[in-house]
A and B are shown apart, each in its own frame.
Chain A
């Protein structure tokens, strides 16, 4: 079946502009995660959605970052007033249940802020 998809695959934006990144999880997966991965670095947790529970936003680095998810489907990550340090690959993952289940990652969105 279809895996996790993300769009766009690449995004170049000017400093100060807003960007919206999209994630389509695997159908039936109740959990959805957003991560940031800077070049050559590890996975930085941003936000976690689990079913209808309140999202865990503890990883969002500033109030310029926000994310939404409609039910158990699509999620969007929005970065307002982008800064150069926001340049990274943004990875989305989904899992069948909570965080003790395998996470399936999408291909990522490479964001470059000029």
Chain B
């Protein structure tokens, strides 16, 4: 079955710098890749997603890239701000199945 690995488990960056979180998946049939953000004590919320027919998607300071050949996708956050501090989860959806989640990355923005 599908397996999603997420790295790093913790990422600390200086405010204003960029942050990159990477995920790999094993099932080449996976076709949907969302990213969720969970602030401390709050519920996860979708921040961006990408489907397998697209290589990159941007939304202001956030972007996601997908490399289907290598079976990995990444979340890029530019000009990081204190409110970006959270745990970020990636997920992959194998065909006709429910999401398989990564273990999460704790992003710390240092002032």
Contacts and interface: CB of A to CB of B under 8 A. Distances in A.
Interface in B59-111: 89, 93, 97-104
Contacts of A102: 34, 46, 49
A18 B95 CA distance: 36
B40 to A, nearest CB: 10
A29 B21 CA distance: 30
Interface residues of A, number: 16
Given A42-B104, A43-B89, A56 B43 contact: no
A65 interface: no
Contacts of B100: 45
A33 B45 CA distance: 14
B15 to A, nearest CB: 24
Contacts of B36: 103
A25 interface: no
A102 B44 CA distance: 11
Interface residues of B, number: 20
B26 interface: no
A105 B44 contact: yes
A107 B32 contact: no
Contacts of B99: 45, 99, 103
A91 interface: yes
Contact of B93 (A33, A42, A100, A108): A100
Contacts of B102: 42
B74 to A, nearest CB: 18
B86 to A, nearest CB: 13
Contacts of A48: 98
B45 A100 contact: no
A97 to B, nearest CB: 11
B98 A56 contact: yes
Interface of B: 31-32, 34, 36, 43-46, 49, 51, 89, 93, 97-104
